[in-house]
Amino acid sequence: MSEWVDPALGDEAVEAEQGLGPSGDPGHDDAGYEPYGDGGSYTIVQHNLDGSTDVLVDRDGDGLADVVLHDGDGDGLAEAAYVDGDGDGRLERMLRDFDGDGLVDEVSADTNGDGWIDVVATDTDGDGLIDQVAADTDHDGRTDTWVQDTDYDGRADQTLRDADQDGVPETVTYLHPTANPYATR
Protein backbone atom coordinates (compact mmCIF):
# COMPACT_ATOMS: atom_id res chain seq x y z
CA MET A 1 0.00 0.00 0.00
CA SER A 2 1.01 3.61 -0.21
CA GLU A 3 3.04 5.00 2.65
CA TRP A 4 0.06 6.46 4.50
CA VAL A 5 -0.79 6.58 8.15
CA ASP A 6 -3.79 8.54 9.43
CA PRO A 7 -2.81 9.80 12.90
CA ALA A 8 -6.46 9.56 13.94
CA LEU A 9 -6.24 5.77 13.65
CA GLY A 10 -3.47 5.44 16.23
CA ASP A 11 -2.14 1.89 16.58
CA GLU A 12 -4.85 0.49 14.28
CA ALA A 13 -3.05 1.96 11.25
CA VAL A 14 -0.66 -1.02 11.17
CA GLU A 15 -3.18 -3.12 9.16
CA ALA A 16 -3.41 -0.45 6.45
CA GLU A 17 0.37 -0.30 6.06
CA GLN A 18 0.77 -4.02 5.38
CA GLY A 19 -0.58 -3.73 1.86
CA LEU A 20 -1.54 -6.30 -0.69
CA GLY A 21 1.86 -7.90 -1.18
CA PRO A 22 3.75 -8.38 -4.45
CA SER A 23 1.25 -10.79 -5.98
CA GLY A 24 -1.80 -8.68 -5.11
CA ASP A 25 -2.88 -11.28 -2.57
CA PRO A 26 -4.02 -9.79 0.74
CA GLY A 27 -1.96 -12.47 2.48
CA HIS A 28 -3.93 -12.99 5.69
CA ASP A 29 -7.34 -13.82 7.08
CA ASP A 30 -7.51 -11.59 10.16
CA ALA A 31 -10.92 -10.99 11.71
CA GLY A 32 -12.51 -7.80 10.40
CA TYR A 33 -10.37 -7.84 7.27
CA GLU A 34 -12.32 -8.61 4.08
CA PRO A 35 -10.54 -8.68 0.69
CA TYR A 36 -12.54 -8.39 -2.52
CA GLY A 37 -11.07 -8.61 -5.99
CA ASP A 38 -11.68 -9.40 -9.63
CA GLY A 39 -8.08 -10.19 -10.60
CA GLY A 40 -7.28 -6.64 -11.77
CA SER A 41 -8.42 -4.58 -8.84
CA TYR A 42 -8.76 -5.23 -5.12
CA THR A 43 -10.76 -3.73 -2.29
CA ILE A 44 -9.95 -4.37 1.34
CA VAL A 45 -12.55 -3.57 3.97
CA GLN A 46 -11.19 -3.38 7.49
CA HIS A 47 -13.53 -3.17 10.48
CA ASN A 48 -11.64 -1.71 13.44
CA LEU A 49 -12.23 -2.41 17.13
CA ASP A 50 -13.34 1.20 17.74
CA GLY A 51 -16.30 0.78 15.33
CA SER A 52 -14.63 2.61 12.46
CA THR A 53 -14.21 1.13 8.99
CA ASP A 54 -11.41 1.59 6.47
CA VAL A 55 -11.79 0.74 2.79
CA LEU A 56 -8.64 0.48 0.68
CA VAL A 57 -9.09 0.28 -3.09
CA ASP A 58 -6.39 -0.76 -5.55
CA ARG A 59 -8.08 0.03 -8.89
CA ASP A 60 -5.23 -0.96 -11.18
CA GLY A 61 -3.99 -4.10 -9.36
CA ASP A 62 -0.47 -2.81 -8.80
CA GLY A 63 -0.54 -3.50 -5.04
CA LEU A 64 -0.74 0.21 -4.13
CA ALA A 65 -3.87 1.88 -2.73
CA ASP A 66 -5.48 4.32 -5.14
CA VAL A 67 -8.27 5.29 -2.73
CA VAL A 68 -8.46 5.00 1.07
CA LEU A 69 -11.78 5.76 2.78
CA HIS A 70 -12.10 6.19 6.55
CA ASP A 71 -15.53 6.03 8.24
CA GLY A 72 -14.74 6.96 11.84
CA ASP A 73 -18.22 6.58 13.31
CA GLY A 74 -19.34 3.49 11.34
CA ASP A 75 -22.39 5.15 9.79
CA GLY A 76 -21.47 4.11 6.24
CA LEU A 77 -20.35 7.62 5.20
CA ALA A 78 -16.61 8.23 4.94
CA GLU A 79 -15.41 11.30 6.82
CA ALA A 80 -12.07 11.21 5.00
CA ALA A 81 -11.03 9.98 1.57
CA TYR A 82 -7.41 9.85 0.42
CA VAL A 83 -6.80 9.61 -3.34
CA ASP A 84 -3.85 8.77 -5.58
CA GLY A 85 -5.14 10.44 -8.74
CA ASP A 86 -2.04 10.00 -10.89
CA GLY A 87 -1.19 6.38 -9.99
CA ASP A 88 2.29 7.12 -8.63
CA GLY A 89 1.68 5.28 -5.35
CA ARG A 90 1.35 8.49 -3.30
CA LEU A 91 -1.97 9.61 -1.87
CA GLU A 92 -1.88 13.27 -2.87
CA ARG A 93 -5.47 14.42 -2.25
CA MET A 94 -7.59 14.32 0.88
CA LEU A 95 -11.34 14.96 0.94
CA ARG A 96 -13.01 15.60 4.31
CA ASP A 97 -16.65 15.65 5.45
CA PHE A 98 -16.54 17.40 8.84
CA ASP A 99 -20.29 17.59 9.51
CA GLY A 100 -21.20 14.03 8.46
CA ASP A 101 -23.76 15.02 5.82
CA GLY A 102 -22.08 13.02 3.05
CA LEU A 103 -20.86 16.15 1.21
CA VAL A 104 -17.20 17.12 0.93
CA ASP A 105 -16.40 20.13 3.14
CA GLU A 106 -12.67 20.38 2.43
CA VAL A 107 -10.25 19.20 -0.25
CA SER A 108 -6.51 19.25 0.43
CA ALA A 109 -4.00 18.51 -2.31
CA ASP A 110 -0.29 18.10 -2.91
CA THR A 111 -0.21 19.63 -6.40
CA ASN A 112 3.52 19.28 -7.07
CA GLY A 113 4.11 15.82 -5.55
CA ASP A 114 6.60 16.89 -2.89
CA GLY A 115 4.67 15.27 -0.03
CA TRP A 116 3.36 18.55 1.41
CA ILE A 117 -0.21 19.84 1.10
CA ASP A 118 -0.12 23.10 -0.85
CA VAL A 119 -3.79 23.77 -1.67
CA VAL A 120 -6.79 23.60 0.68
CA ALA A 121 -10.27 24.33 -0.72
CA THR A 122 -13.05 24.71 1.88
CA ASP A 123 -16.85 24.91 1.85
CA THR A 124 -17.23 27.04 5.00
CA ASP A 125 -21.04 27.39 4.96
CA GLY A 126 -21.96 23.80 3.99
CA ASP A 127 -23.82 24.67 0.78
CA GLY A 128 -21.73 22.35 -1.42
CA LEU A 129 -19.74 25.20 -3.02
CA ILE A 130 -16.12 26.07 -2.28
CA ASP A 131 -15.94 29.42 -0.45
CA GLN A 132 -12.23 29.69 0.25
CA VAL A 133 -9.02 28.38 -1.30
CA ALA A 134 -5.71 28.71 0.56
CA ALA A 135 -2.57 27.99 -1.44
CA ASP A 136 1.18 27.76 -1.00
CA THR A 137 2.08 28.98 -4.49
CA ASP A 138 5.85 28.93 -4.00
CA HIS A 139 5.82 25.47 -2.32
CA ASP A 140 7.82 26.50 0.75
CA GLY A 141 5.36 25.03 3.27
CA ARG A 142 3.58 28.30 4.14
CA THR A 143 0.28 29.60 2.77
CA ASP A 144 0.73 32.81 0.77
CA THR A 145 -2.46 33.19 -1.31
CA TRP A 146 -6.16 33.06 -0.44
CA VAL A 147 -9.14 33.29 -2.78
CA GLN A 148 -12.49 33.93 -1.08
CA ASP A 149 -16.18 34.01 -1.96
CA THR A 150 -17.28 36.39 0.80
CA ASP A 151 -20.95 36.67 -0.24
CA TYR A 152 -21.36 32.90 -0.93
CA ASP A 153 -22.76 33.31 -4.43
CA GLY A 154 -20.42 30.72 -5.96
CA ARG A 155 -18.02 33.30 -7.47
CA ALA A 156 -14.71 34.41 -6.01
CA ASP A 157 -14.85 37.98 -4.67
CA GLN A 158 -11.31 38.66 -3.54
CA THR A 159 -7.76 37.40 -3.62
CA LEU A 160 -5.30 38.08 -0.82
CA ARG A 161 -1.54 37.69 -1.29
CA ASP A 162 1.11 37.60 1.43
CA ALA A 163 4.34 37.64 -0.59
CA ASP A 164 6.70 38.05 2.38
CA GLN A 165 4.69 35.52 4.45
CA ASP A 166 4.55 37.63 7.58
CA GLY A 167 0.86 36.82 8.10
CA VAL A 168 -0.36 40.16 6.74
CA PRO A 169 -1.55 40.28 3.10
CA GLU A 170 0.22 43.01 1.11
CA THR A 171 -2.19 42.74 -1.81
CA VAL A 172 -5.98 42.44 -1.77
CA THR A 173 -7.62 42.25 -5.18
CA TYR A 174 -11.40 42.53 -5.42
CA LEU A 175 -12.56 40.35 -8.30
CA HIS A 176 -16.15 41.55 -8.24
CA PRO A 177 -16.86 45.33 -8.00
CA THR A 178 -19.62 44.94 -5.40
CA ALA A 179 -17.27 43.01 -3.08
CA ASN A 180 -14.95 46.01 -2.62
CA PRO A 181 -16.07 47.85 0.52
CA TYR A 182 -13.93 50.86 -0.48
CA ALA A 183 -15.32 51.26 -4.00
CA THR A 184 -17.38 54.35 -4.79
CA ARG A 185 -20.93 53.38 -5.48
Query: If you average pLDDT over residues 154-161, what whole number do you get?
Result: 88
38 or 6: which leads in pLDDT = 38
pLDDT beyond 80 at 185: no
Mean pLDDT estimate for the chain: 78
pLDDT band for position 13 (50/70/90)?
Answer: very low
pTM: 0.67
Residue 21 is predicted with a pLDDT of 33
Secondary structure in 3-state letters for the chain: CCCCCCHHHHHHHHHHHHCCCCCCCCCCCCCCEEEEECCCCEEEEEECCCCCEEEEEECCCCCCCCEEEEECCCCCCCCEEEECCCCCCCCCEEEECCCCCCCCCEEEECCCCCCCCCEEEECCCCCCCCCEEEECCCCCCCCCEEEECCCCCCCCCEEEECCCCCCCCCEEEECCHHHCCCCCC
pLDDT on residue 80: 94
pLDDT tens digit string along 14-38?
A: 333 333 333 334 444 444 445 566 6
What is the tens place of the pLDDT at every residue in 104-116?
999 999 998 888 8
Examine the pLDDT at 151 and tell me if it is beyond 90: no
pLDDT band at 140 (very low <50, low <70, confident <90, very high): confident
* Interval 34-58: pLDDT, tens: 556 666 678 999 999 999 999 999 9
